[in-house]
Structure 1
């Protein structure tokens, strides 16, 4: 099983950052590669079991399920049902912590998955970290600035 991880420190407070990250249907508001998001199943974007369909700026389509939303620990866990990414069994958690000495926030985005057939684990990890996490978190910095 492969593991992808990216993290970053934000100047603003953890609660402000969490208010954006916790929105399961909110990726188009800060992820530059996501054009639209629609919750197609479930009670709301905040209820575990909700399924969203994301459309990328390149026309790619992703189906993802919200597994858990933990406001007390500022953690959101989701899994990919179907996507063009070279991964299978993908489960990911975004989590936000307060930074005590600066009043800022620390965000982590990590996942576990198997590389799709024909893809090495290293290439799958690079596709996630370099192709998704790194640019998304860079854009999130601009959104909360």
Structure 2
């Protein structure tokens, strides 16, 4: 099993960051590579089982399922059902934690997956982390 990871520290509170991250259907608000998101089944986007279809600015399409949403622990987990990525069995968790000494927040994005046939773990990890970095940078811009 391979992993990918990205994180960032925010000056805004954990509750302020979580208010954006927890909305499964709102990724286009802060990920610059995602143009649209539509919940197509399984609930309203705030309950496990919800399925979203993301369309990238390049026209790529991603189908993802919300696996868990824990407001008390500020944790959201999802899995990729179908995507043009060099991975399979992808499962990811975003977690927002308070930073005690500043009152800010720490957001971590961690994924486990198997590299697709013909792809190394390092290549797949690089693709995923290259997607996480601008997403968290985008979150900084809407929070500021």
Band the TM-score falls in, shorter-chain normalisation:
over 0.9
CA distance in 1, matches of 2:49, 2:106: 27
Alignment correspondent of 1:110: 110
Task: Spell out the pairing of 1:28-67 with structure 2 (5 A cutoff).
Answer: 28-67=28-67
State the SS of the aligned residue for 1:36. Answer: strand
Task: Say how many residue pairs are matched.
Answer: 144
CA distance in 1, matches of 2:35, 2:73: 29
Shift of 1:139: 1.0
Structure 2 unaligned regions, length at least 5? none
Q: 3-state SS of the aligned residue for 1:25?
A: helix
Give 1:106-145 correspondences, 5 Å limit.
106-130=106-130, 132-145=131-144
RMSD (Å), alpha carbons: 0.5
**Structure 1 runs (4+) greater than 3 angstroms displaced:** none
What secondary structure sits across from 1:44 in the alignment?
coil
Alpha-carbon distance between aligned partners in 2 of 1:135 and 1:142, rounded to the nearest angstrom: 10
**1:43 to partner: Cα distance:** 2.0
- Could you state the TM-score of these two structures normalised by the residue count of structure 1? 0.98
Identify unmatched segments of 5+ residues in structure 1.
none
Classify the secondary structure of the residue corresponding to 2:24: coil
